[in-house]
Amino acid sequence: MSPDSSESSRPSDETYDREDLEGNVTIAPPSWLSEERRDEWLWVANYLLERTSYKARGFGLLIHDDFKALTKLIHNLESTTDGLKLLARLRNAIRQRQYRSSKGGRETCSFTLPIAIKAALGRLAKGNRITVTAQIQRLIEDATELTGERKAAKRQEALNAKIMRNEYKLALELNKVRIDETEKQLRHCQKQLARWETFWKEELPELSIDDEAAATKLTEERMRAIKEAISAAEAKYRMLSPRAI
């Protein structure tokens, strides 16, 4: 048998020695492993590290960083019966991993349910014309959404309660501001009146009709000024108060 026919008879999924133009022998990776798919061959390296001895690996500790070292380890494993069995399990594990990836990250879950609950789940799925798996997924999604809505409602209730408390406290504080400003204006008016009474040292004289009308008009103007002063004090406090949010 010629060298060409011997080489062509090798299985395509095994590694084999390759000689370059300078006569150096390199080990080609198996057809099912590509250096370009780094995530995959790093996963393979971890798999083999966990299932082989240090003696079997030789310099296999380098396989995390060196694709050629990983290829050499696989090549060595192909030379023993146990190694071939391990590689067969590895190939099966790779297929399962690829299958899970193709299913969008789905994984198999095993759990037990009371017979009545399982029957109810089956009836729900049948009534909705979906599979039991889809029904379970829908129930979980609905429960998750409902939990989120309840949390949002509680947060809103807490916020509303806080706003009401702040508004009540602000109203009390504004009442005090009005009272304080009223007392301030009243004290000013009383002082002015006391000064006139002290000046006359007796009761104020009767005013004529025209003077009485002028005094009434002046009183109204001063009352408006007092109200404006109270409103201004209230507005200033409202603007600066941390409760006015």
Do the Cβ atoms of 230 and 178 come closer than 8 Å?
yes
d(CA 152, CA 85): 55
Q: What pLDDT sits at residue 115? A: 92
Q: What pLDDT sits at residue 234? A: 78
Answer whether 0.85 is exceeded by the pTM.
Answer: no
**pLDDT 10s digits, 35-80:** 888 888 888 888 888 887 765 655 545 666 788 888 888 888 888 8
Length of the chain: 245
Q: What pLDDT sits at residue 22? A: 46
Partner residues linked to 27 by β-bridges: 17
Per-residue pLDDT of the chain (245 residues; tens, 9 = 90+): 444 443 433 444 444 455 444 444 567 888 888 888 888 888 888 888 888 776 565 554 566 678 888 888 888 888 888 889 889 999 988 888 877 776 666 666 777 889 999 899 999 988 888 888 888 888 988 898 888 888 989 999 999 988 888 888 888 888 888 888 888 888 888 777 777 777 776 666 677 888 778 878 887 888 888 888 888 887 887 777 766 54
DSSP helix/strand/coil, 132 = helix
Q: What pLDDT sits at residue 23? A: 47
Structure tokens at 145: 């959404």
- Element housing 198 (H / E): helix 132-200
